Amino acid sequence: MLSSQVDEEVSKGSSNRLAQLDMLEQLKICRADKADDVKVLKENARKLDEQYGRCLQEAEQEEHKWSSKTESQESYKNSLEKGMYEDIEKAKEELKAAERELQLIMQETSETNKKVVNNLSRILEVIITHIDIVEKHFEKRYEKVEEDYKEFVKEPLLAAMTELVKKYHELVESCEDQDDAEIPISHSN
């Protein structure tokens, strides 16, 4: 009886030992599968990080490109404004000089020179009219340049930036879709 109990205990111990060895083997297999899964996930994370870096770099390049274009347009606008203001100032100075000259001539002339003064006065009026026309023309050009600049800054840049953000979102979504398709899903028992 004691011997059968001992045999039974030995048999149970052997069964437990075999079950534990089997469980240990299953744990080793599961651990190896999980280690492989971790490697795959790390590789996928590295790829995603690289894609994100490329997307970010492309976005920065686009932003720099638009910034350069805006600066170029701003510089062009400033150059036009400066030239226009210089021309207006020159025209005003010429007008003032002509007025001073007219006053001197009028003070120094006699009766016989009044006809000449009248002729010069008419010429000066034509010059003044011409200068006014030129000044109005420059003012209209300035307003047109200002409108073009505001329209350029508001619409195309805003549209371009909106398009850039849209493309960036599409790129990120396509990166996510590609990554979802590339990540293998492993099932372990």
Local structure of residue 183 (DSSP, 8 states): S
Quick check: 149 pLDDT over 90?
Answer: no
Neighbours of 73 (CB within 10 A): 16
Identity (one letter) of the amino acid at 125?
A: E
DSSP string, 20-87: HHHHHHHHHHHHHHHHHHHHHHHHHHHHHHHHHHHHHHHHHHHHHHHHHHHHHHHHHHHHHHHHHHHH
Identity (one letter) of the amino acid at 62?
A: E
Quick check: 134 pLDDT over 70?
Answer: yes
As a whole number of angstroms, the distance between CA 50 and CA 138 comes to 54
Neighbours of 124 (CB within 10 A): 18
Q: Which helix (H) or strand (E) holds 189?
A: none
Quick check: 96 pLDDT over 90?
Answer: yes
Please state the length of the chain.
Answer: 189
Q: Supply the pLDDT for residue 33.
A: 86
For residues 142-153, give the mean pLDDT: 77
For residues 4-19, give the mean pLDDT: 81
Q: Supply the pLDDT for residue 84.
A: 86
Q: Supply the pLDDT for residue 66.
A: 87
Q: Supply the pLDDT for residue 97.
A: 92
